[in-house]
Chains A and B, each alone.
Chain A
Amino acid sequence: MSADARVLVLDDEEQFHKSRSFWMDAVRHFRRDRLSMLSLAVLLLLTLACFFGPPIVEKVLHVDVSRTDLIHRNLPPGEGGLLGTDQLGRDHLIRLLYGGQVSLAVAYLASLVSITIGVVVGIVTAYYGGVVDDAVMWFINTLESVPTIFLLLIAATIWSPSAQVLILILGALGWVTTCRLVRGQVLSLKANEFMLAARAIGARDWWMMLSHIFPNTISLVVISLTINAGSLILVESGLSYLGLGVQPPTPTWGNMLTEARSYFVQGTHLVIWPGLLISLTVLCFYLVGDGLRDALDPRSVRGR
């Protein structure tokens, strides 16, 4: 190989590395991960179907979400609409779609709320340390030692929840884990030299947090957001099952299961579909979260 050629190759390589930032690298890795891509596609499809599907389905199948029909109750799929009818003769498919709207919105927004609280509290307390940090850690330890289900039960009784209130409750009780993770990350970041450098050129506290610390927690945030959304769907459905979630007639996948349990002999399909959708959604969230973790964690072995 001539000297010229070698220089060229090196140049190319440099070009190659320069053109791939951390995020592009992560995206590349994620796109190669077929299972995660599939899960993401399913999630997107489900979300689109739930938020934009109902008007179309209503038009095409001539059904209405609140129209009851007591003569055609508990019909199996095929006989009464695509997925049958429920105990009041309502079309099951359209209710599943509307229920998905609420369940998914609660999951997305509650996850967003809890992550926001977790990140802000985590960054601020870990950055300043001292008494504030001690106080917040005491609060976190306390909150963590009460069984979550008990806290949720109490909160749900005190503020009998609509979807909006439920989002706030779940968000306000779910930030602890994220906060712990972020705090750990920030504490290790604080020891880095770029922090000292930023401080040396006169950066103020808020600028340090916003432009030097926060970007370094984004991968953590993205992963937590996904995994959290998955577990929140489970929590929401569990609360609904106990009768403490969003109240009927507003459908959610959780309270559809609650209603269905009284009729599972007449309408087994009423039990199967909401549960299947919950499981599928949660599974996809978890798989996407796992895929993101592989893609965003530089320590994980790429291309496995």
Chain B
Amino acid sequence: MQVYVIRRLIQSIPTLFGITLISFLMMLAAPGDPVTLITFNPTATAEGTAQLRRQLGLDQPPLVQYVYWLIGNDWVKIDVDGDGVGDVYGTRHGFLRGDLGQSLQHKRSVLDLIVERVPATLKLTLTSLIVGYVVGIPLGILSAIRSRTWFDQVTRVFSVVGNAIPAFWLALLMIIVFSVNLGWLPMSGMRDITRPDASGLDQIRYMIMPVFVLALGIIATVSRYMRAEVMEVLGQDYVRTARAKGLQNRTIVVHHVLRNALIPIAALLGPALGSLLGGAVIIEQVFAWPGMGRLVVNGVFQRDYPLIMGSVVLGAVLYILGVLFSDILYAWIDPRIRLE
């Protein structure tokens, strides 16, 4: 088991390296000069911008820029005044030491900005994930056990339709019905900013619609997957043996079917955990939810490259960790995997 975990950890290093490379190349290919974005000042002199460019390391060749981004530049002297002699040490620590650079738009550390926004996003996505699995798994199981009944039919139709409806459209419709017409639920935001004393219960009202919309897609996928798994296990010989022994249906389902059918769900969990940060970008936009998604979308419109790159890399790291976690979980509950 330890060997397996270590092997998987080592395997993820090249992937991580690739992600930094891809996002760096994309940023390099992006149009627009960061210096003009920072200064945005008609009175800026050519000399001043050139100095700023040297300070930011933008005069260096791409490979050097990449190395600086990766491991920082506090070990080299920067030639600020352009006379070919290094003047002061750099201030960046680099990605590998937890420094994602400065946001051009906010003039603050990218990591701080992201860390501020993560709780709001997690509140939304984690809740949806839990709701999705808690509803989706039983739905799929029941649908398989009662296959070809009306319940099964309804569940299957629901799971296809649930995947086909654009989530943001459903969100818009819900806003029209529940916020505009009925006035039951708040239209957007995370809490009532005019009432600092609002209780937790009050905040839940803000979560109902976004969580419902996000969970719907998860329920659709999970229930469909679960149904297929249970159907497959129900056809296995050991289930027939259990029936032949005269075991009760309930015992067969709980002890023989579910144990085996739930294993592959672990594989589904990895990507789901990995997309916790990026999974709600559009829905956050619809409900004006102050999370990661809005931060990134605004960054994109402002061409705030360090911010975008930092979010991409962090999102990818989370994805790798999620997949790693689910692989290890998988290997832990299913010994056949780690013996391969």
Binding site for B on A (CB under 8 A): 138-139, 141-143, 145-151, 153-158, 230, 234, 237-238, 241-244, 257, 261, 264-265, 268, 271-272, 274-275, 278-279, 282-283, 286-287, 290
Q: Which residues 175-195 of B sit at the A interface, judged by CB distance below 8 A?
A: 175-176, 180
- Cα distance, A146 to B318, chains bound together (Å): 9
Give 10 pairs: A residue, B residue, CB < 8 Å, sorted on A. Answer: A145-B316, A145-B323, A146-B316, A154-B23, A154-B300, A237-B166, A264-B176, A275-B166, A275-B169, A279-B169
* Contact A147–B300 (Cβ < 8 Å): no
A76 to chain B: closest CB distance in Å?
A: 14
* Interface: B50 (CB within 8 A): no
CB B186 to nearest CB in A, in angstroms, measures: 16
Q: Which residue of A lies closest to B278 (CB)?
A: A147
Main secondary structure of the interface of B (DSSP, over half): helix
Q: B316, A230: Cβ atoms under 8 Å?
A: no
Chain A nearest CB: distance from B32 CB in Å?
9
In the assembly, what is the distance between CA of A231 and CA of B302, in Å? 28
Question: Which residues from chain A contact B165 at a C-beta distance below 8 Å?
Answer: 275, 279, 282
> Would A271 and B18 count as touching, CB distance under 8 A?
no
Complex interface: chain B residues within 8 A of A265 (CB): 180
Q: Which of B14, B161, B168, B301 contacts A283 (CB 8 A)?
A: B161
Chain A residue contacts of B319, Cβ below 8 A: 145-147
On B, residues with C-beta under 8 Å from A are 14-15, 18-19, 22-23, 26, 29-31, 160-161, 163-166, 168-169, 172-173, 175-176, 180, 274-275, 277-279, 281-282, 285-286, 296-297, 300-301, 303, 308, 311-312, 315-316, 319-320, 323
Hey, which chain B residues are within 8 Å of A237, CB to CB? 166, 168-169
CA distance A125 to B163 in the complex (A): 32
A278 contacts B166, CB within 8 Å?
Answer: yes
Chain B: which residue is nearest A268 at the CB level? B176
Contacts of B172 in A (CB 8 A): 257, 261, 264, 271, 275
CB neighbours (8 Å) of A154 from chain B are 23, 26, 30, 300, 308, 312
Asked if B285 and A146 sit within 8 Å, CB to CB, the answer is no
Number of A-B contacts (CB under 8 A): 130
Would you call A279 and B274 a contact (CB within 8 A)?
no
Q: How far is the CA of A138 from the CA of B18 in the complex (A)?
A: 8
Taking the closest CB of chain B, its distance from the CB of A299, in whole angstroms, is: 12
Question: Could you tell me the distance between the alpha carbons of A286 and B164 in the complex, rounded to whole angstroms?
Answer: 8
Residue of B nearest to A265 (CB): B180
CA distance A146 to B301 in the complex (A): 20
Residues of A within 8 A of B180 (CB): 264-265
* Given contacts A138-B14, A141-B15, A241-B168, A150 and B278 within 8 Å (CB-CB): yes
From A150, A243, A282, A287, contact of B311 by CB (8 A): A150
Give the distance in Å from the alpha carbon of A292 to the alpha carbon of B329 in the complex: 34
**Do A241 and B282 touch across chains, with their CB atoms under 8 A apart?**
yes
CB distance from A180 to the nearest CB of B (A): 13
Question: In whole Å, how far is A226's beta carbon from the nearest beta carbon of chain B?
Answer: 13
Q: Are A146 and B312 closer than 8 Å at their CB atoms?
A: yes
User: How close is A191's CB to chain B, nearest CB, in angstroms?
Assistant: 17
When the two chains form their complex, are residues A138 and B160 in contact, meaning their CB atoms are under 8 A apart? no
A271 touching B29, Cβ below 8 Å: no
A138 contacts B161, C-beta separation under 8 Å: no
Within the complex, what minimum Cβ distance (angstroms) separates B25 from chain A? 11
Which among B180, B279, B282 has the highest number of chain A CB atoms within 10 Å?
B282
Measured between alpha carbons, how far is A157 from B30 in the docked complex, in Å?
8
Contacts A230-B164, A237-B166, A275-B165 supplied; 4 other A-B pairs, CB < 8 Å: A142-B14, A241-B286, A242-B285, A282-B166
C-alpha gap A37/B308 in the complex (Å): 44
- Which residue of B18, B26, B275, B297 contacts A141 across the interface (Cβ within 8 Å)? B18
Q: Most B CB atoms within 10 A — which of A138, A147, A238, A242?
A: A147
Q: Which of chain A's residues has its CB closest to B322's CB?
A: A145
Q: Is the CB of B18 within 8 A of A238?
A: no
- Name A233's closest neighbour in chain B (CB-CB): B166
With a cutoff of 8 Å between Cβ atoms, the chain A residues found around residue B297 in the complex are: 153, 242
Please indicate the chain B residues that have their CB under 8 angstroms from the CB of A290 in the complex: 160
Most A Cβ at <10 Å: residue of B172, B176, B296, B315:
B172
Judging by beta carbons under 8 Å apart, are B308 and A139 in contact? no
Chain A residues near B175 (CB-CB < 8 A): 264
CB distance from A254 to the nearest CB of B (A): 8
Please determine whether B31 and A158 come into contact, CB atoms closer than 8 angstroms.
Answer: yes
The 8 Å CB contact of A142, one of B18, B275, B277, B323, is B18
Chain A hits for B320, CB < 8 A? 145
**In the assembly, what is the distance between CA of A300 and CA of B173, in Å?**
38
User: In the assembled complex, which residues on chain A have CB atoms less than 8 Å from the CB atom of B30?
Assistant: 154, 157-158
A188 to B300, CA, bound (A): 43
User: Which residue of A is nearest B148, CB measured?
Assistant: A304
| Chain A contacts for B277, CB-based, 8 A | 147
**A238 with B300, Cβ < 8 A, contacts A142-B15, A286-B164 known:** no
Cross-chain contact A234 with B166 (CB below 8 angstroms): yes
Q: Which residues from A are CB-within-8-Å of B169? A: 237, 257, 271, 274-275, 278-279
Contact B15 A147 (CB under 8 A): no
